Amino acid sequence: LTLEGVVHELNPTAAGQDDDCPSRQAPHITSAYLEAIGVEMGLRGVAAARRDDNRPRPIRREQVLEVFKRQFNVAELAGALVADVNQQAADAERVIDRDLFAKWASEAGAAGFQAHS
């Protein structure tokens, strides 16, 4: 959600754009921003973003990165992780693979990570 916030802060009219100029639409601006900072910030979808022929160019990468870092909220991320992991339904749609997460926590214990804290 942070990247979406960046798109709308830097492009306040993006949500209302029609098909006359696709590169001014939020999804294509998102692609451009993903291409610019996605790898560095660990975001998914960079490869697909690079294939978006309607993404605007050039992008002010440093400005995008600055706004992303300012808007990024660690508490919000932690809350989303907890909510995802704690879903009780067996068929819940998840972002986090709980088994992989548990394996990581177990392996990280060797480096001093407290898996159950």
Q: How high is the pLDDT of residue 116?
A: 65
Domain spans of the chain, in order of start: 2-71, 79-111
pLDDT-derived band at 24, boundaries 50, 70, 90: very high
pTM: 0.76
Buried/exposed code over 11-29 (b: 16+ C-beta within 10 A; e: otherwise):
beebeebeeeebebbbebb
Q: Does residue 110 surpass a pLDDT of 80? A: no
Q: Does residue 46 surpass a pLDDT of 80? A: yes
Q: Does residue 113 surpass a pLDDT of 90? A: no
